[in-house]
Amino acid sequence: MRILNSEFDLARLMPSDEELVVAFVPTNRDIYRMLQACHKLKTIYIHPETFKELPCVGQTLLYMQKVELVVDGDVPKNPSLREDSAGENQETTPPRPASLVMVSR
């Protein structure tokens, strides 16, 4: 499992990578580059807040290539999103929802 913290990590992808953890908001081009670089890609894990900003075209590309998109609260957040929530009190944060798995056929 490879963790991608920024678009610069896309250069390190290998054709044998099957699972990716995406900690930034990828553009459609970034998603296309992931699909081109990882021929055996099966699953991408992403944080719920990052998923909200994921482009619909990128989601469609993943669906068409039968890549499972797993939205999970345990995945690291986008660094820019962490700065926004740094001032929030941890006690007032509601509990995170259960993981959401988008199944493609």
Q: Which two tokens stand for residue 105?
A: 């056929």
Q: What is the pLDDT of residue 63?
A: 93
Q: What is the pLDDT of residue 94?
A: 45
* Domain layout of the chain by residue ranges: 2-79
DSSP 98: P
Cα–Cα distance between 51 and 77 in angstroms, integer?
10
pTM, entire model: 0.72
pLDDT tens digits, 7-55: 899 999 999 999 999 999 999 999 999 999 999 999 999 999 989 999 9
